[in-house]
Amino acid sequence: MSADLLDATFAALADPTRRAILNRLAAGEATVTELAEPFAMSQPAVSKHLRVLERAGLVTRGRDAQRRPCRLDARPLREAVAWLADYRDYWAESYARLDEVLAELTAGSRNERPDRREPQ
């Protein structure tokens, strides 16, 4: 995936309205009118969000007689997940190292505890 497309994907995902639109499209295609229903915004405002999603390759529009249904295209999301996977591995390794340090500290503190003796 090109850096420009990855940038466009993350920019599109940065907005909660666009994420909500993608969630809705994951359930199936919808028109702009149908997508605008749950939002307190005009259809032209929803169309602007759709254009951002289209530029990122996340949404395609078809033609069905008078209808222009929008569809989710999840391929850019797969590419973004692949890019993020490198960082998931980094954090997993970091947490594993932290677990080792904590285990060493816990074992060391057990060895340093004085024996509890009964009062005389």
pLDDT at site 63 = 83
Q: What is the DSSP string of 22-72?
A: HHHHHT--B-HHHHHTTSSS-HHHHHHHHHHHHHTTSEEE--BTTB--EEE
* Tens of pLDDT, residues 14-61: 999 999 999 999 999 999 999 999 998 899 999 999 999 999 999 999
The pTM assigned to this predicted structure is 0.73
Architecture of domain 3-74: Orthogonal Bundle (1.10)
The pLDDT value recorded for residue 75 is 93
**57-114 per-position pLDDT tens digit:** 999 998 877 788 999 999 999 999 998 998 888 888 889 999 999 998 888 777 766 6
pLDDT for 113: 62
The answer to whether the beta carbons of residues 70 and 25 sit under 8 Å apart is: yes
What's the rounded Cα separation, in Å, for the pair 42 and 36? 7
Domain range summary for the chain, segments of one domain joined by +: 3-74
pLDDT at 7 over 70: yes
